[in-house]
Structure 1
Amino acid sequence: MEPVAKIGRSEMWEHFDLISPNKVQCLICDQKLAYNNNTSSMLRHFRAKHDRATATAQAESSSQGNRKDRIDEALVHMVVKDSQPFSIVDDVGFRAFVSLLDPSYILPSRQTVKAMVESKFVEERQKAKDELLNATAVSLTSDMWTSIHMDAYLAITCHYINADDKLSTILLSVGKFPERHTAANIAATKTSVMEEWGIQGKVRCLVTDGAANMLACGNILQLRHSICIAHAINLLVKKAIDQTPGLEEIRGKARKIAAYFRTSTVARERLLSIQQQMGIPVHKLVQEVETRWNSTYEMMARLYEQREPVSAAMVSLSTDLAALTPAEYHNIAECLGPLSPLKEAMVELSSEKTVSGSKIVPLVRMLRHAINTKLREVNGEMAKELCTNLMRLMMERLSHYETASQHSLATLLDPRFKAVGFCNPGNSQNAIRRLTAECSFLFKDSSTPPDPAAQEPAESSGTGLWDLLDLHVSETRKVKSATANATVEVQRYLSEPNIQRSEDPLQFWAQHKHVYPHLYVLARNILCTPASSVPYVLIEY
């Protein structure tokens, strides 16, 4: 008898072997069964003895495989999220820790981890590209800086509103920039990044600092450009401090004191001891960073908080460093008052997770009100001079945001603010006219062209003499209709009560996209632009 003739007719031959013309043997349990030219007995045996066990074993194997995949994925996430080196999997302590958690898990080698991270990068990058392809409008922010090793870097970040009407951010590129920092070179890099990510024609605004090369770069790219509000406020406050007689000297003394207690071990230990004796919170002094005015605020605020232990420590230490006098501490306290709302505004305007571009106009208005109020409250000449300088510089450097198309439209399209956010009623009316024009353009763009066959026949002599005039009348009627419809939609929206400031404007538009369809499109295009090119980083001191 030829066994091959039998094998292949049933799946059972994968689990049984023909050992004689009338006997088969189970390959799983070695039991022998009679064979009568059919697989019935084999099938009964397999179902009764092995089917459930095989399924359970397969499920356990699959579960183990899935669990290992999940742990591998968590390992990759940890390496990426915490900026860990690939060599962490070779560290003795880490291996012992993982072994205690799960003795059955075998850590991959550093080469394997590197390959998994690279694979995850490619996967996430493709997901981001696919999402950007569906975005109707995006905004770009970019920033340049120099590392401690004097290497220049350029970062480009994309902001957009996704299909779920949520604000999203993707870091498109960050890397060394060895070329000269000319506008042409920066523009060439940004053009290359836009082409790589397929967002040409979708960029509605570019947000950078106010450096001349960045402004020229925006002109080369022919993109609407906005100056980062964080940089604008930073320069404004620094200049106001410099122009306030006596305040710069206090700032210089505070800087030296902070540096002394942060670099001298003896001074630091003495301050710690006195803080504990006095029962004052044990906080380190803050050293300012030249490029961030808010660090100047933090330095002076912390020094004022710790004025008693600092003064006591300096008396007991052998140092010729000049201590701050009670009058100078009083001036610090008064000057912190008008600077406080500016710091609060910086935090709000540098948010990366919520809509911020629409806050510029109303926050400038609130800042002017807050500092004007402080001017009436403070008594010292130094604080009054600081308030006056801040008010003047805000008028000079921040007033243009209210008339800029991007920011004025963003304020109107934010249901928390609308026209209430403007300082000048004339500017709000101009913004409403601009918004109506933008909305009218969308009405005309979305209108269905008239069917010539369905139109009423124009009175004509048959020579086509009136065709040009008839066409002009038809176009005029279409434009007037679009303008009227846009006016109605804009006025209906503006007449609605403003939502609470704590609410999400994007959620409002998601809920009203069928009520105000054209304004919804404009809101998605405009509200994705952030106020700042750099997010605010909260540093714990």
Structure 2
Amino acid sequence: MVDEALVNMVIKDSQPFSVVDDVGFRELVHVLDPSYVLPTRKALKSMVDTRYEEAKEKAKEKLDNVVAVSLTSDMWTSINLEAYLAVTCHFIDANDQLGTILLGVQHFPNTHTADNLAIAHTMVMEEWGIKDKVRCLVTDAAANMIACVRALNIRHAICIAHALNLIVKKSFDDVPGLNELRTKCRKLVTYFRTSTTGKERLAQVQVQMGRPALKMIIEVDTRWNSTYSMLERLYDLREPVGAALASLRTDVSPPTSLEYETMKDALDLLAPFHQATVELSAEKRVSASKVIPLMKMLNHTIVRKSEGLTSNMARQLADNLVRRVREHALQMESISVMTMPTLLDPRFKKLGFLSPGKLQEAITRLKSECANVIRNSETTPPAQVPASQAGPSTTCGDLWHLLDSTVDNSRRSSSVTADATIEVDRYLSETNLARTEDPLGYWNKQKLQHPNLYKLALTFLCCPASSVPCERVFSKAGEVVSKKRNRLNPNTFHKHYTIALPVP
């Protein structure tokens, strides 16, 4: 019992194995239980390895019983400058609940080429026995990741958080004056973050004004929403910043009142993108089905907000955002891994699409997918008609075989297509669920009413909208590979970290 508690502490708190040699820890354990003998570092490592194997077998049992899975993948570099590849697995279990399993954070010493990444992903899929079940892989928009998924020959989805970040960044870059304003703000923020005198003075001014002492937020290219967060904090602190600068010896100048007005308009335009990114990043339920409706709502919101803008730069920004959102929306509405989840989500169905033409194409694709499910479920071959009951043509040997078989296949195909069309049309004609309801709860209740669409729902609704699960992995991984554990073997790290997050 105590051994088990010790292993739990090491895993959950990311403690080094050497904790069992720490004098203070040994004294504490002795006071709590004088009869307990602490294991050696080697024995403790063996206990953690055993726990890993137990957790892995438990996770494999879950994956053996699912219809389909989707993966997210990303790269990370530790404090030792060692590269790691993280892969998470997402699925709908036998109880129609969304589940997630961390397949591992594996050491990746090879160059980050598409071929090497494809080999590593293949090994992970084969190790876990899911190679034939993977329906989608979600990554960032890096060229090597895109080429990797193409080599794996599976469906690919770009992380929506990365996509929204790129839309905002490129739209900013296309407005020269706005980009210069952002550069000016970043210089000002950098001063208050790096100057001890400036930082202390800003805090003092905020306290004197009866406000909480907030710190500046710096923009980071790889961090989602960082531009929005930087500008929002600076705009909120515009009065304390002006007062602090007036008493400091620096050549850094604050934005003018006109620039602050432009900043306010820009923040108003960026707020929906911030909200969308936060919502999808925090989503623990079905999320891929939200991408297409989300792009439609962003387009609608930006168009509406642009009507009240007074700044020319803000209007240019609005035009750029609308153009890029529409381009991305139309692109998403052409990809089956995005359109199928949207149609199969009873909250959205047909309402999420921006293009009527793309909607009809998606419905046609859904009917085709449904027909394939029906064909694959027909395992019993058609009964053979006895010769004594057959018509005259059966006495003619093989003379009419080609024509008769063609007619039979055509009739069977026509019936399958008709059945699929009826099931899809019946489902789409039903009233949509409220956006706050759980789509998997709907399919759990309607699996007998729409049996073939239910199978498709299990396949497509497990796809996550973003690679945020991997980002969370790396946040925790930074605690595991810490200064106190900088000599941790990559293989030991993989085992230790994989079980640090429990199987749902």
State the TM-score, normalized to the length of structure 1.
0.81
Residues 194, 335 of structure 1: CA spacing in aligned structure 2 closer, same or farther, 3 A cutoff? same
- Cα deviation code 1:347-383 (max 9, x no counterpart): 2333462111111110000000011111112211121
Identity of aligned residues (%): 54
**SS of the residue 1:168 aligns to:** strand
Give the aligned residue type for 2:391: A
**Is 1:237 paired with 2:168?**
yes
Q: Call closer, same or farther: CA 1:424–1:397 in 2, change over 3 Å.
A: closer
CA contact (8 A) 1:143 1:534 kept: no
Find out whether 1:501 has 2:435 as its counterpart: yes
- Distance in 1 between residues matched to 2:29 and 2:204, nearest whole Å: 41
Determine which of 317, 322, 328 is the counterpart of 1:391: 322
User: Counterpart of 2:416?
Assistant: 482
Give the match's secondary structure for 1:353.
coil
Written as runs of structure 1 = structure 2, the 5 A alignment for 1:275-294 is 275-294=206-225
Going from structure 1 to structure 2, the CA distance change for 1:73 and 1:482 (only over 3 Å counts) comes to: same
1:330, distance to aligned residue in structure 2 (A): 1.8
Indicate conservation of the 8 Å contact 2:140/2:158, yes or no: yes
Ranked by relative contact order (alpha carbons within 8 Å, sequence separation 6 or more), the top structure is 2
Alignment of 1:309-320 (within 5 A): 309-320=240-251
Q: Which moved more, 1:164-173 or 1:499-508?
A: 164-173
1:221 and 1:266 map into 2 onto residues whose CA distance is 54
Structure 2 matches for 1:38-437, cutoff 5 A? Answer: 69=1, 71-91=2-22, 94=25, 108-147=39-78, 150-351=81-282, 353-437=284-368
Specify every segment of 5 or more residues in structure 2 that has no aligned partner in the other structure, as ranges. 476-504
Deviates more, 1:94-103 or 1:313-322: 94-103
Structure 1 residue 148 displacement after superposition? 5.7
Asked if 2 retains the 8 angstrom alpha-carbon contact of 1:444 and 1:478, the reply is: no
Closer/same/farther in 2, CA of residues 287 and 470 from structure 1, 3 Å limit: same
Alpha-carbon offset, residue 302 of structure 1: 0.9
Structure 1, residues 26-47: CA drift from partner, whole Å, max 9, x if none? Answer: xxxxxxxxxxxxxxxxxxxxxx
SS at 1:248 equivalent:
helix
Residue 163 of structure 1 aligns to which amino acid in structure 2? A
Further displaced range: 105-114 or 231-240: 105-114
Would you say 1:458 and 2:356 are equivalent positions? no
2:381 paired residue number: 449
Partner of 1:516: 450
Q: Deviations over 1:235-255 (max 9, x none)?
A: 221111111132222212222
- Structure having the higher Rg: 1
Per-residue Cα deviation, 1:249-289 (whole angstroms, up to 9, x for no partner) = 22122222222222222222222221111111222111121
Structure 1 residues 71-105: Cα deviation after superposition (integer angstroms, max 9, x where no partner): 54344333223322233444455556667777776
Instruction: Tell me if the contact between 1:238 and 1:293 (Cα under 8 Å) persists in the aligned partners.
Output: no
CA-based RMSD? 2.4
Provide the C-alpha distance between the structure 2 equivalents of 1:490 and 1:480, rounded to a whole number of angstroms.
15
Amino acid at match of 2:393: S
What CA deviation, in whole Å up to 9, does each residue of 1:44-72 have, x standing for no partner? xxxxxxxxxxxxxxxxxxxxxxxxx2x54
Give structure 1 stretches of 5+ with no counterpart.
1-68
8 A Cα contact 2:72 2:467, kept in partner: yes
Q: Against the structure 1 CA distance between its residues 149 and 196, is the aligned structure 2 distance closer, same or farther, given a 3 Å change threshold?
A: same
Aligned mate of 1:527, from 461, 475, 480: 461
Q: Which amino acid aligns with 1:458?
A: G
Whichever residue aligns with residue 405 of structure 1, its letter is: S
- For the 8 Å contact 2:330–2:355, the answer to whether it is kept is no
Question: 1:237·1:293 contact (CA, 8 Å) conserved in 2?
Answer: no
CA distance in 1, matches of 2:38, 2:211: 48
